[in-house]
Amino acid sequence: MSELAREELSALAAIYCEPGGCELLAASATHGISFRIQITVKELLDTDVLLKLLFHLPVNYPSALPDISVNSDQLTRAQCMDVKDKLLEQAKKHLSEPMVHDLILWIQQHLKDVIKQSARVCNEETTLSKGASTEDGIWMLLLHLDHMRAKAKYVKTVEKWASDLRLTGRLMFMGKIILILLQGDRSSIKEYLILQKTSKVDVDSSGKKCKEKMMRVLCETEVQSQHKRFQTFEVKEYSTLEELQKEFETAGLTTLFSEFVPPLLK
């Protein structure tokens, strides 16, 4: 991690010092640092908007742009993507200098304009598409499983479902962490979820077949241009968190890893 990045994170922690305001998610000399900033933007569309901004600063930051993820319960996913795009546009103007605080100040001042512009674009696209299906495009699903008692049978079942539904991705084991990362048509993703929730895929403590009750959907989203497509579905085991992180980074999913995987270790 560069000294500039370290100093910037220290300053941000002092500025956004309220509970949940600034949270370090991951830090490494080889992969950089990831942290979440939580801010409230006042008086937007007659309501306060809570923005959760996740930043991943690569090791060569600020000579390289940060990865940014935007989440808000008050905004749609499309609006969050528009906010992210605008932040990246601003980031390019600050290349080679610490920029995170400037980006946060900018979005606090311009969020209302970004949302208005997003609504106009959405209306135009709806008119042009004349009701085109929202099911189009490749989607991605990240699941967390609490445990597998009948591991061999469970793994074979997941592999069969992925094959039948033409889904690619990874079933990943790292210590006690079990993750399923899938890519494919949204209809197939939805069908997989139904199978995962309704089929007797494991056994309970007494050895009887049971449904998966401890599964959590960590993320379900459309695959973006920066994400690489998996060509196959593979079952893989990782001995360290760094190995697991590298799998995500190779697929262009650094932000996805930083946001959802480290919290599973707590």
Tens of pLDDT, residue by residue over 68-78, are: 888 888 888 78
Strands 168-174 and 233-238, sheet pairing: parallel
Q: Where in the chain is the domain with CATH 3.10.110.10?
A: 3-121
State if pTM tops 0.75.
no
Q: What is the CATH number of domain 3-121?
A: 3.10.110.10
Q: What is the pLDDT of residue 36?
A: 92
Provide long-range contacts, Cβ within 8 A and 24+ apart, for 113-119: 114/79, 114/82, 114/83, 114/86, 115/44, 115/45, 115/75, 115/79, 115/82, 117/82, 118/78, 118/79, 118/82
**Does the structure show a pLDDT above 70 at 45?**
no
Binned at pLDDT 50, 70 and 90, residue 166 comes out as: very high
C-alpha dist (Å) from residue 197 to 154, 216, 233: 13, 10, 20
Binned at pLDDT 50, 70 and 90, residue 178 comes out as: very high
Q: What is the pLDDT of residue 47?
A: 72
Assigned CATH topology for domain 139-264: Alpha-Beta Plaits (3.30.70)
Among the listed ranges 41-55, 138-152, 173-187, which one has the minimum average pLDDT value? 41-55
Q: Report which of residues 266 and 23 the model is more confident about.
A: 23
Q: Where in the chain is the domain with CATH 3.30.70.100?
A: 139-264
> What's the rounded mean pLDDT across residues 232-246?
94
Q: What is the pLDDT of residue 124?
A: 46
CA–CA dist 28, 5 (Å, integer)? 12
> What's the rounded mean pLDDT across residues 240-265?
92
Instruction: Write out the H or E segment, with its range, that includes residue 186.
Output: helix 186-198
**Does the structure show a pLDDT above 60 at 134?**
no
